[in-house]
Copies of this chain bind each other. A is one copy, B any other.
Amino acid sequence: MPDARFFQRAGPFSLAEIAERIGAHLGDAAKGNLIITDVATLEDAEITHLSPFVDPRYYSSYITTAAGAVLTTRNLSEKFPRLGVGLIFSETARLHYASVAWLFYPEAVRGSVVRMRVAVCGNAIVGADCQIEPSAVLGTGVVLGSRCQIGCNTVIGQGVVLGDSCIVGDGASVSHALIGNGVEIFAGARIGTAGFGFAPGPRGPIRIPQLGRVVIGDNVEIGANTTIDRGGLGDTVIGAGTVIDNLVQIGHNARIGLSCVIAAQVGIAGSANLGDGVMIGGQAAIADHIVIGSGARIAACSGVMRDVPPLITVGGAPAVPIRQFHRQTTALGRIAKSHRSDNAPK
């Protein structure tokens, strides 16, 4: 279960109360009075804990778990019968597990570092109940909404606006940016640095001034050490609800739609244009000026050099529709084999 040095637990709750609070179904009413004190993995759980079981690969842990209660789907529980455990059913068990975890750990978003309130501000405007940690720097004209947390050694540059309930981790820097409500920026992220804009000059590349901004919608999350360049002229835009993992690069004037999911180490080049709900696997690369339709999916490690229509899944480098990529992979394996026998003595 979560380490009390890092996480502050609420509860306990009865199993019935948990089911009701998260809006899921209690398997057996007789188990409703079971007292649950914590969440834990199937492997680590004790008798007063609740564990999630949402991935059939972990069925052997489920069979042997000491957990008193398990949150799972009706399907999985029928496939792997298990007596003596209090069950909560949900067809979206992963989503409901999130709710349970929030119930026990309502402040788990960010383990606070120090509760000192130290600020180095110019004429910045700081909303109610903000927490500015040691050595954080707020530049001239910065505006913070209510309940923002700014991590240690983090720099919010001149003129930047953050909405309410934003969290910026330690050692990050944010400049030239307008940011909505509920945005979380992780440690070491660099938002608003100058884009990679050069004109070929007679004696090497000449820097083009980067005069745009980064505009970030509500509830966006940006991973650790990720970099998002400001626009060259016009803005780089990240749509509301989009989540971005660690070490991602987003180039100048890129436009990302609503509720996209962008995994670690992805690179999105300048002026790329993504619709809503686009999902991109780790280490994939999107070339500059590429248009990706809403609901498209890009497999991990792909290199996307052409536009992708809405709802299409692509893979490979250069990326092609995913079934074609699988056929290429299969064909290549087959040819490699026959190529070998061609060379064999006859």
Interface of A toward B, CB cutoff 8 Å: 1-3, 5-7, 39-41, 43-44, 52, 57, 92, 94-95, 97-98, 101-102, 105, 108-115, 120, 122, 133-135, 137, 139-141, 151-155, 157-159, 169-173, 175-176, 186-188, 190, 192-194, 196, 198-201, 203-213, 219, 221, 223-225, 227, 229, 233-234, 241-243, 245-247, 249, 251, 258-259, 261, 263-265, 267, 269, 277, 282-283, 285, 287, 289, 300-301, 303, 317-318, 320, 324, 327-337, 339-340
Of the candidates B204, B259, B264, the one whose C-beta lies within 8 Å of that of A241 is B204
Answer whether A3 and B213 are a contact pair too, CB < 8 Å, given A113-B175, A114-B140, A327-B339: yes
Main secondary structure of the interface of A (DSSP, over half): loop
- Given A5-B159, A327-B339, list of 19 further CB < 8 A pairs? A101-B209, A109-B194, A113-B157, A120-B134, A169-B193, A188-B227, A193-B246, A203-B241, A205-B241, A205-B261, A207-B221, A223-B227, A224-B229, A247-B267, A300-B303, A301-B317, A324-B333, A327-B336, A331-B336
Answer whether A318 and B329 are a contact pair too, CB < 8 Å, given A98-B207, A265-B265: yes
* Contact call A188/B190, Cβ cutoff below 8 A: yes
- With both beta carbons as reference points, the residue of chain B lying nearest to A261 in the complex is identified as B205
* Contact call A203/B171, Cβ cutoff below 8 A: no
Contacts of A176 in B (CB 8 A): 3, 6, 111
Of the candidates B3, B198, B243, B246, the one whose C-beta lies within 8 Å of that of A261 is B198
- The quantity of this chain's copies bound in the complex is 3
Answer whether A188 and B225 are a contact pair too, CB < 8 Å, given A57-B289, A137-B113, A141-B5: yes
* Contact call B208/A101, Cβ cutoff below 8 A: yes
Min CB–CB distance A46 → chain B (angstroms): 14
Give the docked Cα–Cα distance between A303 and B283 (Å): 9
Answer whether A39 and B211 are a contact pair too, CB < 8 Å, given A155-B151, A331-B339: yes
Can you list 6 A-B pairs with a CB-CB distance of less than 8 A?
Answer: A6-B159, A98-B206, A196-B223, A198-B243, A246-B249, A249-B265
